[in-house]
Structure 1
Amino acid sequence: MSKKNNKMSCFSCMSSRPKNIEDYDEDMISRSNNSAVHARGNSSDSGSGNGRKEGFLKSKRSGESNNQNNNVARSFAFKELAIATQSFRETNLIGEGGFGSVYKGCIDSGQAIAIKQLNLEGLQGNQEFVVEVLMLSLMHHNNLVNLIGYCTHGEQRLLVYEFMPLGSLENHLFDLEPGTTPLSWKTRLKIAAGAAHGLEYLHKANPPVIYRDLKSSNILLDNDFNPKLSDFGLAKLGPVGDNTHVSTRVMGTYGYCAPEYAMTGKLTLKSDIYSFGVVLLELITGRKAYDTSKKQGEQNLVVWSNPFLKDRRKYFHLVDPMLDGQFSSRCLHHAVAVTAMCLQEQASFRPSITDIVTALDYLLLQAQHSGTHRGGSQSGKHIPPPSTEEFNVSSRNRSYDNMAITF
């Protein structure tokens, strides 16, 4: 929901064009007839139902909403949304992207909302609209943005979300206004861990969901910097059974796409892991995934960072100067190590999202216990691996000693 125009394009080109997910009907709907979509029954307006306990939400996981009734997406009349936004007045415009414009509004209950309005000139927006309603009507988690409702009035297509007061992560990382306080190291870890929990929920769904558009502008923040993933128009159902991937046209945002997906169109859960690694790199460096204002050789963040990621002695060259040394050396090394594993060129070498969640939960807990140490000093008190009770923040039976990611 950033005011910056996020240019969505095929990886092979950088022209600004709507997201293309023409194959959504075959992949998203027919394949889910035997799971969550089928569980909705015949209700076409509710957008959710008790059947969510099957299919996508087959088992209860951390962060999943326990109050199903509060998550039912409602159908809005266009007049209601026009009133809520003062006829979509420009002063209420809070963002623009490939889908269309986003406005802040307020409904009768007094709740602040964000309304995403389909760009009627876009060729693929209606398909994205269907996928997003489908996804967010079926899936609910503390780290996914909540879909309040939708509107289909004539050619108008609008999505109504909870309002996220702090906007997107990119608003707090890049091009900060003078005098703006940058994100602290602990807050960056908090955002990374929360986003990882949201992605894990998608990957652990049945069938699994590949987000396909993970980037800093799609990570929204509440007043306490709790992150929520948004914009699911490019999401795809992942491979099931003996299948290793799904084949699709290459879509996403330049700088975030996994190399094997960009070259072959073969999409896997590990494609999301690469994108998550890019976001981690943005959090560590304070630099954009792709920045044309940089000189040649530094425009692509992953390319620029590669020499530093390969040498532990150079990790400090990656750190955002805005952090002013307010981080621990040990925590930085671990965070960079996780990032480097996510960015492995060979997809099979990348960790699972569950391993990433385990690692980031631990690093966040360590940062909360140890406080801030200037200049990457290692003189701060060493925090041992947390106990099972302490570390089991998500009601999971995880053991630090059994982590697949080792430091």
Structure 2
Amino acid sequence: MGSRRRFPVLLFLFPLLMTFELCASLNQGADPHGSLFDWDEGDASPCSWFRVECPDDGRVMTLLSQLEKACEGFCNIIGSLPGCTLYKGTLPCGAEIAVVSTSVAYAGGWSPTAEAHFKNKVEILSMVNHKNLMNLVGYCEDEEPFTRIMVFEYVSNGSLFEHLHVKEAEHLNWQARLRIAMGVIYCLDYLHLQSPPVNLRDINSSSIYLTEDNAAKVSDMSFCNDKKEGEDELDASDECSTVYKFALLLLETISGRRPYSEDDGLLALWAHRYLTGVHPVMGMVDPTLNSVPEEQVRALSELIRSCICEDPKLRPTIAEVAKRMQDITGITQDQAVPRNSDLWWAELEIITE
């Protein structure tokens, strides 16, 4: 695994991250970050290092075996994304992880474009860290068996889509929905401030996961590469597109309606009558909600209307949307992040050893 900035979310995985680095570099016969610059081949074999295990051929395989064990033999499937499978894993210390593995089973089915996309995605996600982002904590690549894996922190409370549209899921009140929306826009603003800016392709209720206290975690786990010619990898969507997608997400969160229905078509078209004042604006609010302040709904509807303006040049910037959202909701960045990390006890276990 390539070396990366160390921040708190990684601390609990430090022993495992050591094997990530070995899997990604020694197995490939390369050391792109110079971590073995001073290592003399006459010294002890890496296979004798702490937590490193090798088969008879001397190749480092600890990571894959650890992940396989953590994910119950890769049988603990919890979902699928385009071109990949999602597993839940539990490390020996009890920390939970989300493991995303490509569905490609052999090197011949993995194109140079897919490899470039994978490496670029790992590189970009390795350099960002936000409390409202489902952060990348490791990756693994190998040729035999063919392996391309990304490991993320696990978020346990399901997706925003489930909470909005699945009856069995926990109901979200008005304030909870506003807090989730604020966590998303704060995260998007953070990503856009990076150099170069990081604009995620998928910004929808299925890619927003919730913590136990219903804070938003924006995810970008898919291996799928559907970029158009001339587009970069993760930053294919420009700022105007990101603003538009967030507005649709906000509209879905307020209304509790799916992005598309056979009866009403696209959600934006259904909402047009309310956004333009043809019908009372409160009519677009999810009828299951109680005690919804009309002044907030009016302010949010005006913001949504500006964000989906047909002329992209007239749309506000991400920073402007975040500022206007904070003015409307009164929710600060500190209030939008998870109150308690699900992994605090695991981090403490490692720190105190």
Q: TM-score, normalised by structure 2?
A: 0.71
Find the partner of 1:165 among 153, 156, 162: 156
Q: Which amino acid aligns with 2:64?
A: F
Question: How many angstroms apart in 2 are the aligned matches of 1:301 and 1:166?
Answer: 25
Find the partner of 1:139 among 105, 128, 133: 128
Residue in structure 2 matched with residue 348 of structure 1 by the alignment? 313
User: What CA deviation, in whole Å up to 9, does each residue of 1:80-137 have, x standing for no partner?
Assistant: 1110011122xx2222111311111101222111111111177675454323311221
Counterpart check, 1:87 vs 2:57: no
Counterpart check, 1:117 vs 2:104: no
User: What CA deviation, in whole Å up to 9, does each residue of 1:164-207 have, x standing for no partner?
Assistant: 01121111111322xx5421110110010000011001111112
Gaps of 5+ in 2: 24-62, 336-353
Counterpart check, 1:46 vs 2:13: no
Give the aligned length.
282
User: What CA deviation, in whole Å up to 9, does each residue of 1:29-85 have, x standing for no partner?
Assistant: xxxxxxxxxxxxxxxx234148xxxxxxxxxxxxxx678877989316211111001
Q: How does 1:8-407 map to 2 (within 5 A)?
A: 45-49=1-5, 74=17, 75=20, 77-89=63-75, 92-120=76-104, 126-154=115-143, 155-177=146-168, 180-231=169-220, 248=230, 267-291=237-261, 294-295=262-263, 298-311=264-277, 313-323=279-289, 325-365=290-330
Q: 1:308 to 1:247 in 2, by over 3 A?
A: farther
Q: 1:68 to 1:334 in 2, by over 3 A?
A: same
**Percentage of identical aligned residues:** 28
Q: Which amino acid aligns with 2:287?
A: P
Question: How many angstroms apart in 1 are the aligned matches of 2:184 and 2:314?
Answer: 21
User: What CA deviation, in whole Å up to 9, does each residue of 1:347-380 have, x standing for no partner?
Assistant: 11111111211122233327xxxxxxxxxxxxxx
Question: How many angstroms apart in 2 are the aligned matches of 1:392 and 1:222?
Answer: 16
SS of equivalent to 2:206: helix
Question: How many angstroms apart in 2 are the aligned matches of 1:83 and 1:232?
Answer: 21
Given that 1:116 and 1:158 are in contact with CA atoms closer than 8 Å, whether structure 2 keeps it comes out as yes
Question: How many angstroms apart in 1 are the aligned matches of 2:166 and 2:10?
Answer: 39
Question: How many angstroms apart in 2 are the aligned matches of 1:197 and 1:286?
Answer: 22
Residue in structure 2 matched with residue 37 of structure 1 by the alignment? none
Given that 2:184 and 2:217 are in contact with CA atoms closer than 8 Å, whether structure 1 keeps it comes out as yes
Q: 1:69 to 1:103 in 2, by over 3 A?
A: closer
Question: How many angstroms apart in 1 are the aligned matches of 2:293 and 2:208?
Answer: 25
Question: How many angstroms apart in 1 are the aligned matches of 2:249 and 2:10?
Answer: 31
Given that 1:209 and 1:235 are in contact with CA atoms closer than 8 Å, whether structure 2 keeps it comes out as no
Q: 1:157 to 1:285 in 2, by over 3 A?
A: same
Q: Which amino acid aligns with 2:247?
A: G
SS of equivalent to 1:320: coil
Question: How many angstroms apart in 2 are the aligned matches of 1:159 and 1:309?
Answer: 41
Deviation at 1:229, TM superposition (A): 1.3
Q: Which amino acid aligns with 1:365?
A: G
Gaps of 5+ in 1: 1-44, 51-64, 237-245, 253-265, 367-390, 395-407
Question: How many angstroms apart in 2 are the aligned matches of 1:66 and 1:105?
Answer: 20
SS of equivalent to 1:210: coil
Deviation at 1:160, TM superposition (A): 1.0
SS of equivalent to 1:158: strand
Question: How many angstroms apart in 2 are the aligned matches of 1:267 and 1:117?
Answer: 24
Question: Which one has the largest radius of gyration?
Answer: 2
Q: 1:303 to 1:357 in 2, by over 3 A?
A: same
Tell me which moved more, 204-213 or 269-278: 204-213
SS of equivalent to 1:183: coil
Residue in structure 1 matched with residue 36 of structure 2 by the alignment? none
RMSD value over aligned CA atoms?
Answer: 3.2
